[in-house]
A and B are shown apart, each in its own frame.
Chain A
């Protein structure tokens, strides 16, 4: 499975990447929203994990872009405490699941598995 991770925190990005690679997935990393939207346009992705707050384009803009181009990709949103309203917006735009930071990478992997197996 080809999974895109959009996250500007290097430690989170690398940790999730290594966990997914260990599970046998192929991973594409982006550190800002604009780059993530480009990758979504270019690649045939199976799943996207995106942070809400990112440079150049937010997770919400990524979800809007996916909706605009009409791709049906499951998206897991990572948010911080106090971003409840943004999470509601994310679900309105088609997010499949969300996790609040601090989060457990193991739980994220389980949620990814569940979405992929759907």
Chain B
């Protein structure tokens, strides 16, 4: 049984394929036009919104025609959503009276309802947006609901809630770290650090708890906090972290000790050096490079000659250059008993200095 394709069947198939291709082209064109319209609308709407914000900040001429036009636009949900976005964005650009004007627009146009609706939505990105908007516009009545979101399982939601609570309460808002068991990303740590402008007295209890946290990211964040505010009183607690199980924590502890150093820090680094893995040893040498202390000179020469790892020898040579020991390095590189590898390392360190 063999079926031959007739000519009319072939033509029919070609016509069907052509129709499908044509439909596809029409769909793509239609969608492109729709996207263009949305983009065009958003651009022109953004200009209208920015003009409104500027007008409110400057406290300029009242123009009732333009106000009516603006009120018309506000009936469009996408326009209101964009208005809210632009307001939150503008809030980050201005302070003082201008910030208050932006806040007034938010309340006058009842955008708070919009933000609350988002906060109570099911979709994570909308909830996060609502949290962000209510915090930016300083809606304090939202604090209890946002606090509840700190325990939300969705990353976008709990991260935005953390940032919002710190925006509202400052250092006190970091209380959630007491029991926080998920990773605090580097980006989130930076956002939180930027939002804290001062540490109140009697903050020791919290900081001490966080340094003992079983969550490494909380410990690392706390070390950054100690660095930012130069909390010298925690020197011993930070030093004790040099035997922490995590290498990342140890590295941050070295950086923090360097930032809050005292007259004994370099000696402590030297005594602790052999107990540390290579990554931490390199960090100690970086700290010595910043400290530029002559106390480390003998130790550095010893590492240059005797350490088994090339990376440590290179770092030690670089610190010696910073300490002004170029002459010593040149002399040993020219000695006949100096092995080739060491000569290369020294040349590299001296070249780095030139660069």
Contacts and interface: CB of A to CB of B under 8 A. Distances in A.
A4 to B, nearest CB: 19
A102 B95 contact: yes
Given A10-B50, A12-B93, 16 more contacts: A11-B53, A11-B54, A15-B58, A15-B98, A18-B54, A18-B58, A22-B60, A81-B194, A102-B94, A103-B95, A104-B98, A104-B99, A105-B57, A105-B58, A105-B94, A105-B96
B50 A19 contact: no
A104 B96 contact: yes
22 contacts: A11-B54, A12-B93, A14-B50, A15-B53, A15-B57, A15-B98, A82-B194, A101-B93, A102-B92, A102-B94, A102-B99, A103-B93, A103-B94, A103-B96, A104-B94, A104-B96, A104-B98, A104-B99, A106-B96, A106-B97, A106-B98, A107-B96
B51 interface: yes
Interface string A90-106: 00000000000111111
Majority DSSP secondary structure for residues of B touching A: helix
A11 B90 contact: yes
A9 interface: yes
B93 A9 contact: yes
B94 A19 contact: no
Contacts of A19: 58
A15 B59 CA distance: 10
Interface of B: 47, 50-51, 53-54, 57-58, 60, 90-99, 194
Majority DSSP secondary structure for residues of A touching B: helix
B160 to A, nearest CB: 19
Contacts of A14: 50-51, 54
Contacts of A15: 53-54, 57-58, 94, 98
A81 B53 CA distance: 23
Interface in A7-53: 9-12, 14-15, 18-19, 22
B95 A22 contact: no
Nearest to A78: B93
A81 to B, nearest CB: 6
A63 to B, nearest CB: 22
B50 A11 contact: yes
A18 B60 CA distance: 8
A102 B92 CA distance: 6
A2 to B, nearest CB: 20
A18 B57 CA distance: 10
Contacts of B97: 104-106
A105 to B, nearest CB: 5
A24 B97 CA distance: 21
Contacts of B58: 15, 18-19, 22, 105
Nearest to A106: B97
A5 to B, nearest CB: 13
Contacts of A103: 93-96
Contacts of B57: 15, 105
Nearest to B194: A81
A106 B94 CA distance: 10
Nearest to B58: A18
Contacts of B47: 10
A81 B92 CA distance: 11
Nearest to A101: B93
A116 B57 CA distance: 23
B93 A11 contact: yes
In the A-B complex, the 9 residue pairs with the smallest Cβ-Cβ separation, listed nearest first, are A104-B96, A18-B58, A102-B95, A11-B50, A14-B54, A15-B54, A104-B95, A102-B94, A105-B98
